[in-house]
Amino acid sequence: MQAPLSPAAADTVAAAVLARHDGRQDQLLPALHALQDAIGFIAPARVPAIARHFNLSRAEVHGVLTFYHHFRAEAPARCRVTLCRAEACRSMGADRLLAHAQRTLGCDLHGRSADGSVSLDPVYCLGQCANAPAMTLDDAVFARVTPARFDALLAHALEADRPAPTHPGGPSFLPEAV
Amino acid sequence: MSVRIYVPCDSAALAVGADAVAAAIVREAARRGLDIDLVRNGTRGLLWLEPLVEVATPAGRAGFGPVDAADVGALFDAGFIDGANTHPLALGPVERIPYLARQQRVTFARIGITDPLSLDDYRAHGGFAGLENALALPAADIVAAVTASGLRGRGGAAFPTGVKWNTVLQAPGADKYVVCNADEGDSGTFADRIVMESDPYMLIEGMAIAALAVGAARGYLYVRSEYPHAIAQLQAAIGQARAAGYLGADVLGSGRTVELEVRKGAGAYICGEETALLESLEGKRGIVRSKPPLPALAGLFGQPTAINNVLSFAAVPLILAKGAGYYRDYGMGRSRGTLPVQLAGNVRRGGLIELAFGATLREILYDYGGGSASGRPIKAVQVGGPLGAYLPESQWDTPLDYEAFADRWAVLGHGGIVVHDDTADMGRLARHAMAFCAAESCGKCTPCRIGATRGVETIDKILDPDAPAPQRERQVTLLRDLCDTMLYGSLCAMGGMTPYPVLSALNHFPQDFSQADMPRPGRL
């Protein structure tokens, strides 16, 4: 998780992001993604500027922002946990994993741990159905998650203040450890 | 001569530690002074074995799995880089593992074998032959080949792909588009993800052929935001394909333009419905459109649009490379070709199984899946995603065929299978289906928007252990009536199919809704 930007810096970044997207409406979702990726969330106060840029009403932009689960109106927690709540994960103990996460973090789904450092949200399918149950920690996906693995992953993320080092892989993977 | 070792980079392997395994192998080889060439391949689809490490030997690729980073030292000690079969994780030649050997890999023939982003690998395994053939054909002949192959949409609705493309080809329009529905949001499905992560050029080639077939110059891949790795792979692959001349303003020197762009979804399940997806691509809320007009006539930006699922596009390169008959000769009845079955949930050997249509559910569950992961009896099997019916054991001899499933008031859909053992509470799962519909409904039509919310409340009243039996029976009658309204009154499959899991759970597992006798009308 990157450090939060100051309000002034966020405004500068937002203006630059919008400038990279022309005003055609089909660029709205790509622009919203870019804004959230750069700043961490899309504050309601930013809606008028977005609406002006795309020649839309504020209601239209608000409608889009609130329709999609992906977009956040508030700064994210330092660690973001999502647990899959869909059928395949349920068949492999997702309910027990959720109960464990709730006990550990002291919050319910859509909530945050007491100190605000960890958010807990549901997700419906991460495509890991054959190795259920699955979760994400920040942007990394984990499968075959047991309560013990959940604790280890969370401890690692909180201690290191960064996601566990297993994602993304692929051809960009370079074994710098050697 | 260095030894080639494969460690998958598909997200199913990454999610269980493949990167750490790859790093450990490189570290251990360096420490021992061994010369290795590490390739990050795609997944074989034997997902219970991930991370599945393979070593190239003169006798073929030897498999080891599932490998944990902590196992790597012992694997070297056991001589695994010479293909020695002595370590407990040794699986022998991967191609001979029965789960894989008994499949009919057609669309997934190359997947897991190659480095997903290597153009050389792709070409060496037959890649781009279909596109090259298509460039030499008039558009109508490409469409005719797809029609003759018998390919039906692999997104679930099973509409004939050639018929759809012909409509787009014949439609008047200044611009035409091809759109790939890669919003695979159903629990128990991951075939699209595997294609995108493990063989992205196949999808790109299929979309390029589709663009040539319908007269489109531009295509979009709408990928769900829950699949960041698939998005990254596709973007990298599109960039390399364009640089090599397979995409862009002059495809392979033909003068034809095909541009492809990845668009990221934003966590709305309904955007897997094709018209909601088009609305989302246009920058709006993903609200379902009324049909007609069909997207083939008035789709993206009001223009004729060929919108297909990932697996539909992915099947096309082979049809153009090897001919329509090659594909059509697989399958049964009107279900031609192969179905990538996705076996998941509470099962010992979950993974991707590509088979000609016609195998039975029981064969999949036991011969491939090996029964439940928990070792307990299997109770219910949901096929076709969260809006698919739950099948009890009496229906497990149903062949995998669109019509055979429809006859049993079930849906084969995209072939996703989720297994539940006897600890599953079907009342809770029925409630989950309604709650999911309530959370994900786009809100345009009343049966879905309000019906799902009322459905949750009604099921809660049925499941209330303190409710007297007559009251519960009244609520069951009400729930059946509500499901009837949703089935026949909803605008799209979201509301129209939520009754499938709910009613199948109620009909086949009434004991999970009440200890009392439940009213069970003959229909449904």
pLDDT tens string B236-294:
999 999 999 999 999 999 999 999 999 999 999 999 999 999 999 999 999 999 999 99
CB contact A71 to B (< 8 Å): yes
Q: For residues B239-264, b (16+ Cβ closer than 10 Å) or e, as one string?
A: ebbbeeebbbeebbeeebebbbebbb
- Selecting from A69, A132, A139 the residue whose C-beta is nearest the C-beta of B345 gives A132
Task: Write down the pLDDT at residue B174.
Answer: 86
pLDDT at A76 over 90: yes
Which residues touch B210 (CB under 8 Å, ≥6 apart)? B165, B178, B216, B219, B306, B308, B313, B316
Residue located via tokens 């289906």 = B433
CA dihedral B464, B469, B475, B478 (to 10 degrees): 160
The confidence score (pLDDT) of residue A162 equals: 54
- pLDDT recorded at residue B524: 40
Angle between helices B426-440 and B499-508 (to 10 degrees): 170
Contact (CB, 8 A) for B517 and B463: no
- Report CA-CA distances (Å) from B467 to B429, B431, B454, B461, B464: 20, 17, 18, 7, 6
Tell how strand B259-264 and strand B305-309 pair up. unpaired
Residue A177: its pLDDT value, please? 29
Interhelix angle A28-39/A58-67, nearest 10 degrees: 70
Q: CB distance A125–B117 less than 8 Å?
A: no
B139 touching chain A per CB within 8 A: no
Residues 40-69 of B with CB under 8 A from A: 40, 47-48, 50
pLDDT (0 to 100) of residue A2: 59
- Residue B331: predicted pLDDT: 72
Q: Is B19 on the interface with A (CB under 8 A)?
A: yes
pLDDT of residue A159: 86
Q: Is A35 on the interface with B (CB under 8 A)?
A: no
Q: Which residue has the tokens 């550990």?
A: A104
pLDDT at B137: 97
The distance of B298 to chain A (nearest Cα, Å) reads: 17
Nearest residue of chain B to residue A25 (CA atoms): B283
Question: Is it true that domain A79-161 has CATH number 3.40.30.10?
Answer: yes
- Kindly state whether A37 is in contact with chain B, defined as any CB-CB distance less than 8 angstroms: no
Reported residue count of chain A is: 178
Residues B44-57: tens digit of each pLDDT = 999 999 999 999 99
Q: Which of B27, B40, B236 sits opposite A177 (nearest CB)?
A: B27
Using an 8 Å CB-CB cutoff, list chain A residues near B14.
140-141, 166-169
The reported pLDDT for the residue numbered B156 is 67
| Total beta-carbon pairs less than 8 A apart between chain A and chain B | 198
| Closest residue, chain B, to A87 (C-alpha) | B187
**A94 inside 8 A of chain B by CB:** no
Spatial separation of the C-alpha atoms in residues A131 and A144, rounded to whole Å: 5
Q: Which residue has the higher pLDDT, A2 or B482?
A: B482
| Per-window interface: B 489-508 vs A, CB < 8 A | none
Report A:138-167 residues touching B (Cβ under 8 A): 139-144, 165-167
CB contact under 8 A, B48 and A165: no
Q: B242 CB contacts (<8 Å, ≥6 apart)?
A: B248
3-state secondary structure of B337: coil
B361 closest CA partner among B307, B330, B321, B401: B401
A165 confidence band (pLDDT: 50, 70, 90):
very low
Nearest to B282 by CA among A63, A30, A71, A68: A30
Does A178 lie at the interface with B, CB-CB under 8 angstroms? Answer: yes
Nearest Cβ partner of A144 from B16, B20, B22? Answer: B16
B361 near A CB under 8 A: no
Which stretches in chain B have pLDDT values below 50? Answer: 516-524
Q: What is residue A85's three-state secondary structure? A: coil
ipTM of the complex: 0.94
Looking at chain A, the domain(s) classified CATH 3.40.30.10 span 79-161
CA distance A114 to A111: 9
Q: Which of A131, A144, A150, A156 to mutate to test the interface with B (most CBs of B within 10 A)?
A: A131
What distance in Å separates residue B240's CA from the closest CA in chain A?
Answer: 13
What is the enclosing helix (H) or strand (E) of B420? strand B416-421
CA dist., res. A174 & res. B269, Å (int): 35
For residues B264 and A33, the answer to whether their CB atoms sit within 8 Å is yes
Report the alpha-carbon distance of residue B244 to residue B234 in Å, rounded.
15
Q: Which domains does chain B have, with CATH numbers?
A: 3-98 (3.40.30.10), 119-328 (3.40.50.11540), 331-421 (3.10.20.600), 426-513 (1.20.1440.230)
Q: Is B13 on the interface with A (CB under 8 A)?
A: yes
- Measure in Å the smallest separation between the Cα of B327 and chain A Cα atoms: 27
Residue to mutate among B9, B11, B48, B99, with most A CBs inside 10 A, is B11
Distance CA B477, CA B520 (A): 9
Q: How confident is the model at residue A171 (pLDDT cuts 50, 70, 90)?
A: very low
Is B281 an interface residue toward A (CB < 8 Å)? yes
CB proximity under 8 Å: A 2-21 to B? none
Structural tokens at position B83: 């293909």
